[in-house]
Structure formats: C-alpha cells, structure tokens
Amino acid sequence: MAKRLTKIYTRTGDAGTTGLADGSRVAKDAPRIEAIGTVDELNSAIGVLLAEDLPVEVRTCLDGVQHDLFDLGGELSVPGHAIMSEAHSKRLEDALDAFNAKLPALKEFILPGGSRAAGLAHVARTVCRRAERTLVALSKTEPQPPPMLQYLNRLSDLLFVLARTLNRHAGGDDIYWQQGKNR
C-alpha cells in the first residue's frame, strides 16, 4: 500500500473548512461532515467495545462492521461514489438472525446495561442511531444511496441484540424496565 499520510497536520482546516476525498472543501459543520464524524465516532465506540473480552463470533462480526463503517465514511467523503450495497445489510441481517436465535424472546423493554461489554454495545447502538439521524438530515439536502441508511438501521438492531448476547455471555440477563418503579 502506498504511503498516504506523511504529515498529520496540514493547517488547511484552520479556517473552519475540511477537504473531502474528491478535493472539494466544505465547512466543518456541514451536514456531510457531521455525518462523517458521527460514523467515525460510532466506529470508535465499537473499537472500545472490541477492547473487551468478547466471544469470538461477536469479535469477528464487529471487526467486519468496523471495516464496513470505514467504507461508509469513504462513500460519504466522495460524493457520488458508491461503496455500500445491499450485501452489507444482508450480512448484518444474517448475523442478527444467528445471534437472536440463541436468545429468549423479548417480552419487555430492557434498560441499557448489565455487563460492561453489553453497556458498551448499548452506547454504540445509540451512537449508531445518531449517525442514522445525521444521514437522514443530510439526505434532505443531498440525496444519499439507500444502502447507507439501511446499513445503519440494521447495525443499530444488531448492536441491541449483541448487548443481550453479551449479557448472557457474562452470566447475566437483561435489565427489564419496571414502569413506575419509583412512584
């Protein structure tokens, strides 16, 4: 692979703009940059989750997700260049089905938490939902290819199921919401 970054600081963003991969410059608070940044934050949240002791199948799944999120960010940074496809979402759906099949049916709302790993999966899930919202906001002014939104939607579902899986892996259970508990 060719050397891409020889100097980390460039000073080109000092005036509040940043460069896209196509060479154009946009404001750092532009909706596209907000979406790119939130996808990056999501990838970082998953990186923190991957620092935990995880079952191999969860680790393998999340490793693939991190690569997908870099692809998604790449697609956002080159307007008009398609990288994500329905196959990305299909892979998540297959993982969702496999992990969910090992869990008891969910009959109550659950609270985020349980084991540390499950809690981190819930944090990643909420960041994923925010990334999805930023992409929806961007789509209102610059239409985006459907596979990106579909992927983030499936990923938030997968992170929810992985949180439940990780609670069981740690020997615990979901924490069920008790409506009106503190009346």
CATH code of the domain containing 97: 1.20.1200.10
84 pLDDT more than 80: yes
**Per-residue pLDDT at 79:** 84
**Per-residue pLDDT at 35:** 96
pLDDT-derived band of residue 7, with 50, 70 and 90 as boundaries?
A: low
Highest mean predicted confidence (pLDDT) among 5-14, 79-88, 119-128: 119-128
**Per-residue pLDDT at 14:** 61
Any domain includes 18: no
SS3 assignment, position 81? coil
Any domain includes 118: yes
Location of structure tokens 């990923």: 155
pLDDT-derived band of residue 61, with 50, 70 and 90 as boundaries?
A: very high
pLDDT-derived band of residue 12, with 50, 70 and 90 as boundaries?
A: low
**Number of separate domains in the chain:** 1
Name the residue range of residue 162's domain: 27-176
Any domain includes 5: no
Any domain includes 183: no
Arithmetic mean of pLDDT, 1-22: 64
Q: Report the Cα 44 to chain-centroid distance in Å.
A: 9
Any domain includes 34: yes
- Retrieve residue 144's tokens: 């985006």
Any domain includes 65: yes
The residues that bridge with 176 in the sheet, in sequence order, are 110
Any domain includes 94: yes
In tens, the pLDDT along 27-58 reads 788 999 999 999 999 999 999 999 999 999 99
Arithmetic mean of pLDDT, 53-64: 98
End-to-end, the C-alpha distance of the chain in Å comes to 61
Any domain includes 8: no
